[in-house]
Structure 1
Amino acid sequence: MKNILVSFSLLFCTALNAQQNKPEFPFQNTALSFEQRVNDLVSRLTLEEKVAQMLNATPAIKRFNIPAYDWWNEVLHGVARTQYKVTVYPQAIGMAATFDTNSLKTMADYSAIEGRAIFNENTKQNKAGSRYTGLTYWTPNINIFRDPRWGRGQETYGEDPFLTAMLGKSFVNGLQGNDPKYLKAAACAKHYAVHSGPEPSRHSFNAVTSDYDLWNTYLPAFKELVVNAKVAGVMCAYNAFKTQPCCGSDELMTHILRDQWQFTGYVTSDCGAIDDFYRFHKTHADAVSAATDAVLHGTDIDCGNQSYKALVDAVKQGKISEKQLDVSLRRLFMIRFRLGMFDPPSMVKYANTPTSELESPAHAAHALKMARQSIVLLKNENHTLPLRKNLKKIVVLGPNADNGIAILGNYNGTPSRLVTVLQGIKDKAGSNTEVVYEKAIQFTNDTLLVYSDVSSQYSIDGKKGVKAEYFNNKELAGDPLFTRTESDIDHFWQEGEAVTDQMKALNFTARYTTDYTAPTTGDLTFEMDADDGYRLLIDGNEVINAWQRNRFGARSHKLQIEKGKKYRIVVEYLQTEGKANVRLRAGNFIKSDFAALTNRIKDADVIVYAGGISPQLEGEEMRVNYPGFNGGDRTTIALPAVQTELMKALKTTGKPIVFVMLTGSAIAIPWENENIPAIVNAWYGGQSAGTAIADVLFGDYNPAGRLPVTFYKSDNDLPSFEEYSMNNRTYRYFKGEPLYPFGYGLSYTNFTYSDLRTAATLSPGKNVTVSARVTNSGAKDGEEVVQLYVAPKNEPQLVRALKGFKRIALKAGESKVVSFTLTPQDLSTMSTSGKTIPMSGKITISIGGGQPDLKIKTSSGVVRKDLLVSK
């Protein structure tokens, strides 16, 4: 009887639990297909709820227990803009220089793991819906880096469509995972499609290019990610294409993306791009017409959260049907269902990823590996490198020597530890070597602001410190949300990070007030360092005003001070998006004396100059107007003249000089190429950049990075920046002689090529195998990037095109046969209507450590063969 009662009790409890867990609506039933569940959910939403779900920041739908969600997140080279400490890999252009699809796939996989950990932790803490915590990442940037002056080229995989496509596909595969049901994370190919500057005019710019260039340069990578990699999302660009805004382009959005490529994923606008329809492009009258047209062209999300709010009126006015909105809603909810957001964590293997995965040893090791792989040795005369490890004195100079910002690039996260160039050299040199550091110059001038700690002179209301008032609005309006006393004006927050428990660093303002008491009589220069908007007032007078995002204000102000006198200092700060940082420093400008500097360092064994440029100068729509830079772009590709002048002075010491160049784009360095014995291009190398650079400088790692862009000799080699024709652009069409060609890079050993094998005649529509033997003919172990190029004789516009690459490791004296399979697509070009046209006649195929006919001193014997395509 007891057993019967127990059995009955268990049966009753099981039935009760089943009743309690029974789905109330079909969309909650995990036994149904995603399509069935999505259709059911969308059918239950009101018009207003539907429109709200088409914004990037979607509100919760409480009656269905659907949490709020913000689609906006970034993972360009590691999870970006998060308040958590994360692994930061080399900037995208540096990862492209690895020519290693496996490394990139692993990096994306590790980044997705860290992103999952952050999402899971925020879900546990009921913080769902905050920006930069979701699983929809607006990466990769697969625009073609057609012109080195574009400031955002650092975010791309370079100038070549094939390299970009292969690396982009690897990134998508790594990020999205291989689970047959669930996405690990959702990638997004951007910015679709003909987009690469200028930054200052991107909201109104109309890009015009030929159909040949459209299909053969600007679209191939997007097609690869959409059709083959099955990328979850696409972001349409700010600019117009052939007079239509990209997010409302008949050709790009309707005819190609949705109709020809059959893309079923979601499309988001770039942030504010729908507003641009009527604000800057002037192609639409208002938000109603802009939003309607964008949705009808397949743009599902309005990043910016403004224009699509007008869709409610658009439906009521008969401009668009509610059923058309449903098309977008089904795409959007399908992505969220595929990410497992509506299923129990027990069903989704990624849903239990812990925060212990953040900055795991494996991730940190891979960041160092990729930093090493990315470094390109441009010059090494007289075996200047590698350096001996028993040097007595190393002098490290330059604006990038101890610059943590530069190695992080843009669209970055924040790691627990950064290793700058200086720190990497110190760690490597050891205690028996004296390492001397001086900044020496700024990037563009030889006058340095030597800072003083003036915080001890700050007081407010009789107490030491600064009165800090924080406002939860963008106008410094009303009473502050909270007020506190701080010791100084010096803050950095990632967007969305807690300023206090009361406020996050997003869309806020702050006012900092203090009295500065001058300890001496003389001059003192106050310098502002801040993103977004800022103002500096001294004794009620506005001396710096850069409150508007697009307003270029001064960053410093010289004040005549009198001993014992008080000066009321007020800093006002506006933060809208991205990281939040505000800092006020003070000191005096001092002009560098190159003669005195060279005299001080004349006993050095070697001089390492770390220069180039930085993300402080190039990037997305920046408030920068230093000589040679404008709004994020560059006005010249030349290395800033002051850096060349310094290196000329350093050369007079007679000491070996190593130029370590940090950059996100190609820099013209003709004097350096002729006069500096060793040049290393290190990009923006991520958290372990300094360690990787030191490993290369001292020979603990044999460099094998290759240039993913052409380094031209001067501005004279470049067409107009605003010209989107590919004529005489990039290695594929450039008729001149570059300083350093695409695919170029040296080694500490030598590689020799021989024995190219393939068929003598190619049959249209069939694969062909091409192989060659590669031998490490030098004395050191090393890696080589084997590159295959195709040059069709009957294609007069095209010089040659990369169609295969493999990064291999060879011990000294070792040989390997490297094989490539060329597909019919590889041996074709695209017509002006997007049709595949097989190459005809004679085709030259070459395999080597770089392009044929271009000398690389550590890679010889490029093998080539002329093949005939049979009819």
Structure 2
Amino acid sequence: MASSAFGEIHYPRYGCGKGFEDLPFCNSRLPIADRVDDLVQRLRLEEKPLLMVARLAPLGNISRLGIPQYDWGANCIHGVQSRCGRGSDGKVRCPTSFAAPNLLGATFNESAWWTMGHIIGVELRSLWKQGKGENHPPTQLPPLGLDCWSPNINIVRDPRWGRNMETTSEDPFILSRFGVQVTKGLQEGKEDKGRLQAIVTLKHFAANELEGTWKGPGGPAEYPGTGMCPGRKCTRHTINVNISSYDLASSYLASFRSTVVEGGALGVMCSYNSINGYPSCANKWLLNEKLRKDWGFKGYVTGDSGAVADIYHQHWFAPSMEDAVAKAVEAGTDVQSSGWPSGHAWSTTNAEYLKYIPDLVRQGKLSEEALDEALRHTLTLRFRLGLFDDPASQPYEHLSPDIVRRSEHLAAALDSTEQGLVLLKNEKGTLPIPEGRKIAVIGPHAASRGELLGNYLGQICPGERQSFACVETIFEALSNLTQQVTTAPGLPGISSEVDPKILAEAVATAKAAEYIILALGLDTARIEKEGQDRHTVILPPGQLALLDAMIALKRPLTVVLVNGGMVAMTPVKEKADAIVEAWYPGFFGARAIARAVLGHSNRWGKLPVTIYDEHFTEQFDMLSFDMTKSPGRTYRYFTGQPLWPFGYGLSYTTFSLQILGSSSIKVSQAGGSAKVDVRLLNTGERAGDEVVMAYFSPKEGTLPAGCAATLLRKELFAFQRVALQPQISATLGFTLTAASFQVFTDAGDGVSYAGKYTVLLSTGSVDVTMDVEVEGSPQQPLVLQPWQAPAKTTSVVV
């Protein structure tokens, strides 16, 4: 064990070193299952929980068998959350940082999602090899592991949720495709087809949709006993979410199922909350019946940090902490994430698995078979990563440190950022701003650096771990591309009230310009973040006052919004000439924004969420997880009028869309498919990107009367993104099968009903429709995803 810069400590990384080569579990010619079984039977009872706690450095090693410690839980939401490494020339190379996932969702680009996953995976391998630690304060940093606690594929249920920036969409199909592609890119490396590159850990399983403290639609307060948080404050640790089988299957579990079944995800994190009376990390139905038996999951399950303790302390689901540990292990929580052990520099609490498991087994309260099964789940992955094979024979061991932050990785980050900005309004051709015009960049985000990046950050710049000096501001990025750019903040800070002197300076600066870019929005330090929801969906009052001051100048005004959860921007929509939704645009965000507003790029995305008006908080209870209850959550069920609908987004060019062939087709429940070709033509004078989205809507009479699915307005089932030069067209093919029209029964089964449907093909601006008939038995739907077990309290954990 050796120390390095930043207080990091280097540990042995591979097992089966000198003196252990002859042990059967070290024989790489044997099947991995046999090797794992041999190792498990050699472990002593007291040693077993050492391999079941997420962060135990410097513990977690079993020296008598040559097993090194291993740290579960590197975070990789949009880049490896680690310290910088060094290249072969000795220069600092920090991990590539992409835009926040809410922007990535707006790209509607599966190849971009795969690319990000691959870059994170290969950079993690290199940084792990270098012994880098996570980006925490520099006191004996725990080393990285090769599993990422990402992606976050929880649905965007409510814009007030503090972690909307971590996930991609309110749509289960987009979440599913994002999860599948990130998983494939991260786990399936190019360098070594026989071993895993790294491991994803899908989070948070399931329905983890609350961060703050709530009393219904009002605000933070004690929540009266209703069975949701009886007699206690409603937080992410205490809440019991009541969810129907329909909503579980169609909204909350859909992305997890797809990412496990199709993507092959090998890690899942169970969440803090309870579902229908049972804590997620003690839920046999969720972790065993659904995840492993129904979906065929072959990986490991970790609890979120402190979630095992919550089973006892917060949910009162077990009579003691010992019993909570037994319930967690037996339900399928293979790894506990808790604080570091007492006496360690990183200690917060004792790890309950270490403290209680041996005695639970001796007392017959926990079967050793369940314990060994958990060990097989975790150890199998360490073997598949090559951590018990000769490192010299592994391609990953020979990765150059120069692969971190290589130029191709940076180009991919910029490329995806440009594709995720959304142009919401562009009156009178305000954008792009003509060359040579005087531009004033005003607003609290005009000079933002770290505030553009979102959360869960690795070290971005050389030097201090939270230095953002190398991040361009929007003002700097524009100044680097054009002349005559000035700036003023307009406000003392993101959430500040108006300061008359600072406002007057901004007005004077803007008045001297020909165009104004007003950078407004939220941040992850004070307004929305892990552990903190918003209680409003509007901009801070000071920013609205600044907006009015800029409007009064009667200059062409472009508002750029920086945010995670959507902002109800009625006054912005009414008063601004152009609006750019920039999300948390990341390291290259300012450059992408500057290139877009100056017309150097025309690669806009589409809204992956609905933008509601300011009355949203009056209409929706933050504690209701019912997706269909009037007026309905997300574009799939919402019956009101949004400010901007899901899928909306403009461009500097125009497109036409035409169905080639018949606008009425048939598919059969018995099998087979039909292909629909559409012609997308760039009818404008600029090159540009466009997205074509395919939705279906069941026609009246197709679904059984009164079922929840009759409230479905439309459902996305395919999308394609394409770049086109002016006056050039592309033919896009969409394959339809009976499965394309899957809905869910009230019991949770995924089915396809015989009957008539409308298919909508849309760019968000141009729509074409066609009629589709699914042929088959009107009395017997085609069952595509049987629910297997009723999601009822009595059938979950006993």
Shift of 1:756: 4.6
Paired AA for residue 724 in structure 1: F
Q: Structure 1 CA distance, aligned partners of 2:535 and 2:245?
A: 28
Counterpart position of 2:574: 674
SS of equivalent to 2:130: helix
Q: Does 2:452 align with 1:410?
A: no
Q: Does 2:770 align with 1:870?
A: no
Counterpart position of 1:302: 336
**8 Å CA contact retained: 2:742, 2:752:** yes
Pick from 360, 364, 384: which aligns with 2:410?
A: 364
Q: Does 2:743 align with 1:839?
A: no
Q: Does 2:735 align with 1:798?
A: no
**8 Å CA contact retained: 1:91, 1:684:** yes
Counterpart position of 1:635: 535
Q: Structure 1 CA distance, aligned partners of 2:243 and 2:615?
A: 21
* Match runs of 1:394-405 below 5 Å: 394-405=439-450
Counterpart position of 1:704: 604
Q: CA separation of 1:593/1:109 partners in 2, compared to 1, >3 Å: closer, same or farther? A: closer
Shift of 1:606: 1.1
Counterpart position of 1:193: 206
Q: Does 2:682 align with 1:780?
A: no
SS of equivalent to 1:151: coil
SS of equivalent to 1:48: coil
Pick from 135, 153, 156: which aligns with 2:146?
A: 135
SS of equivalent to 2:268: strand
From the CA coordinates, give the structure whose radius of gyration is larger. 1
**8 Å CA contact retained: 1:69, 1:130:** no
SS of equivalent to 1:57: coil
**8 Å CA contact retained: 2:82, 2:95:** no
Paired AA for residue 314 in structure 1: L
Shift of 1:773: 0.8
Q: Structure 1 CA distance, aligned partners of 2:132 and 2:593?
A: 39
* Match runs of 1:462-611 below 5 Å: 591-592=500-501, 594-595=503-504, 597-611=506-520
Q: CA separation of 1:25/1:221 partners in 2, compared to 1, >3 Å: closer, same or farther? A: same
For the aligned residue pairs, the C-alpha RMSD in angstroms reads 2.0
Q: Structure 2 CA distance, aligned partners of 1:741 and 1:672?
A: 16
**8 Å CA contact retained: 1:143, 1:156:** yes
**8 Å CA contact retained: 2:475, 2:487:** no
Q: CA separation of 1:641/1:768 partners in 2, compared to 1, >3 Å: closer, same or farther? A: farther
Q: Structure 2 CA distance, aligned partners of 1:592 and 1:446?
A: 12
Counterpart position of 1:176: 187
Pick from 461, 472, 476: which aligns with 1:419?
A: 472
Q: Does 2:46 align with 1:45?
A: no
Shift of 1:607: 1.3
Shift of 1:436: 2.9
Q: Does 2:338 align with 1:325?
A: no
SS of equivalent to 2:738: coil
Q: Structure 1 CA distance, aligned partners of 2:206 and 2:514?
A: 50
Paired AA for residue 422 in structure 1: F
Counterpart position of 1:495: none
Paired AA for residue 442 in structure 1: G
**8 Å CA contact retained: 2:528, 2:564:** no
Please identify, of 222-231 and 828-837, the stretch whose mean Cα deviation from structure 2 is larger.
828-837
Q: Structure 2 CA distance, aligned partners of 1:20 and 1:143?
A: 44
**8 Å CA contact retained: 1:756, 1:865:** no
SS of equivalent to 2:204: strand
Residue deviations 1:508-552 (CA, integer Å, cap 9, x gap): xxxxxxxxxxxxxxxxxxxxxxxxxxxxxxxxxxxxxxxxxxxxx
Q: How many residues align?
A: 687
Counterpart position of 1:581: none
Paired AA for residue 710 in structure 1: T
Q: Does 2:625 align with 1:724?
A: yes
Counterpart position of 1:629: none
Residue deviations 1:32-83 (CA, integer Å, cap 9, x gap): 1111111111110111110111111241111112111110101111111435
Between Structure 1 and Structure 2, which shows a larger proportion of strand residues?
1
Q: CA separation of 1:254/1:714 partners in 2, compared to 1, >3 Å: closer, same or farther? A: same
**8 Å CA contact retained: 1:825, 1:836:** no
**8 Å CA contact retained: 1:74, 1:132:** no
**8 Å CA contact retained: 1:71, 1:131:** no
Counterpart position of 1:274: 308
**8 Å CA contact retained: 1:199, 1:620:** no
Residue deviations 1:82-134 (CA, integer Å, cap 9, x gap): 3542111000111111110101111111111111111111199xx9x963511
Paired AA for residue 774 in structure 1: L
Shift of 1:263: 1.5
Shift of 1:620: 4.2
Pick from 438, 448, 456: which aligns with 2:489?
A: 438
Q: 5+ unaligned residues in a row in structure 1: which ranges?
A: 1-18, 448-589, 623-631, 851-855
Shift of 1:31: 1.1
Shift of 1:187: 0.6
Please identify, of 403-412 and 305-314, the stretch whose mean Cα deviation from structure 2 is larger.
305-314
Counterpart position of 1:656: 556
**8 Å CA contact retained: 1:771, 1:817:** yes
Q: Structure 2 CA distance, aligned partners of 1:135 and 1:763?
A: 45
Q: Structure 2 CA distance, aligned partners of 1:423 and 1:94?
A: 21
Q: Structure 2 CA distance, aligned partners of 1:669 and 1:836?
A: 37
Shift of 1:209: 1.3
Q: Structure 1 CA distance, aligned partners of 2:485 and 2:495?
A: 28
Counterpart position of 1:250: 284
**8 Å CA contact retained: 1:440, 1:592:** no
Residue deviations 1:132-157 (CA, integer Å, cap 9, x gap): 51111111101001110001111011
Q: CA separation of 1:244/1:789 partners in 2, compared to 1, >3 Å: closer, same or farther? A: same
Counterpart position of 1:612: 521
Paired AA for residue 665 in structure 2: A
Shift of 1:195: 1.6
Counterpart position of 2:224: none
Counterpart position of 1:75: 76
Counterpart position of 1:827: 741
Shift of 1:233: 0.5
**8 Å CA contact retained: 2:674, 2:736:** yes
User: Normalising by the residue count of structure 2, what TM-score does the alignment of the two structures yield?
Assistant: 0.83
Shift of 1:600: 4.6
Residue deviations 1:307-347 (CA, integer Å, cap 9, x gap): 21211121121101212100000110001111111112233
**8 Å CA contact retained: 1:422, 1:437:** no
Q: Structure 2 CA distance, aligned partners of 1:364 and 1:442?
A: 30
Q: CA separation of 1:52/1:400 partners in 2, compared to 1, >3 Å: closer, same or farther? A: same
Shift of 1:596: 5.7
Q: Structure 2 CA distance, aligned partners of 1:123 and 1:334?
A: 24
Q: What percent of counterpart residues are identical?
A: 36
Paired AA for residue 720 in structure 1: D
Shift of 1:846: 1.3
Q: Structure 2 CA distance, aligned partners of 1:815 and 1:619?
A: 42
Q: Structure 2 CA distance, aligned partners of 1:24 and 1:669?
A: 67
Pick from 30, 33, 36: which aligns with 2:34?
A: 36
Q: Structure 2 CA distance, aligned partners of 1:358 and 1:594?
A: 43
SS of equivalent to 1:70: coil
SS of equivalent to 1:319: coil
Q: CA separation of 1:439/1:653 partners in 2, compared to 1, >3 Å: closer, same or farther? A: closer
Please identify, of 289-298 and 834-843, the stretch whose mean Cα deviation from structure 2 is larger.
834-843
Q: CA separation of 1:123/1:715 partners in 2, compared to 1, >3 Å: closer, same or farther? A: closer
Counterpart position of 1:755: 659
Counterpart position of 2:547: 647
Q: 5+ unaligned residues in a row in structure 2: which ranges?
A: 1-16, 86-93, 214-234, 340-350, 462-469, 704-708, 777-798
